[in-house]
Amino acid sequence: MEEIKRIGIVAKKNKPEAIDTIRGLIPFLTDKGIETILDGETAGLTGESSSLDIEDVPKSSDLIIVLGGDGTLLHAARLVGKSEIPILGVNLGSLGFLTEIALEELNKTIEKVLAGDFKIEERMMLKAKIVTADGKKSEYSVLNDVVINKGVLARIINLEVMVNGAYLTTYNADGLIVSTPTGSTGYSLSAGGPVVHPTLSAIIINPICPHTLTNRPILVPEESKIEIRLLSGDGNVYVTLDGQVGVDFPEGKSIVVSKSKRKVLLIEPPDRDYYDVLRTKLRWGGVR
């Protein structure tokens, strides 16, 4: 990794704690010869000046610090896009599997990062190609999951699933989650899916409340091409991407999910491992 000279900040703007943290972080970074990159809205909230749009912050940065929760980091991952700039997630929320660093650890962690005392963990992303009602194709990259679920008035939905052209099954369910290993501790976990180590090479297919009790979550190889077609749905059905972007999923149309060429680079402190995170966040016993 090249020398870090400019650090961009992506923050949850409606959280006063995030804005206060930025105000204290700017002089801390300046003293170390680091330029802080902010978008115009965040700069205005902190008394700084900037004319950058939020989409342009990663283009001007060597590293991104995320202040917020996992949702803020998912947003930052989309902003980073193809540039694959490392991300350091700082947790200002209540859970946070992606934003692992506690606020009180921030300055110490930054000093370690600037000294090169850190490791980078690569996380796979998924690519979702959706055919809309008017026949147009849209493509999205997600870090956590692609979720197909029913609208408020919808009942059961029928989803035909093909994997690499081979018929898997037709799910009669409330919906379906296609998740990365990173997303296994998100919505998929709440729907009864397995916890999968984030560096494993696999994709999780997990039905939501299936009406056939033997329909269980299944892991398929990361190179799999998963095609999902909506056979019928009593009411509106939606595709939600990383819990942040939602699009209509018309009856008879398909969505294809596969591994993305993009990946997310997360900075991991050297004194912490994934199992520490599981024990802490999921409140597992056996803490030593």
Could you give the residue numbers annotated as active site?
A: 70
CA distances from 87 to 81, 105, 124, 163, 284 (A): 12, 16, 14, 32, 27
Sign of CA dihedral 265, 143, 50, 42: negative
Residue reference for tokens 């909506």:
230
Residue 156 in tokens: 């059961």
Q: What is the Cα–Cα distance from 42 to 7, expressed in whole angstroms?
A: 14
Using CA atoms, how far apart are residues 130 and 117, in angstroms rounded to an integer?
41
Separation between Cα atoms, residue 228 and residue 55, nearest integer Å:
31
With CA atoms as reference, report the closest residue to 124 among 196, 172, 40, 180.
Answer: 180
Structure tokens at 165: 């052209």
Q: What are the phi and psi torsion angles at 143 (to 5°)?
A: -95, -35
CA-closest candidate to residue 55, choices 22, 6, 7, 10 = 10
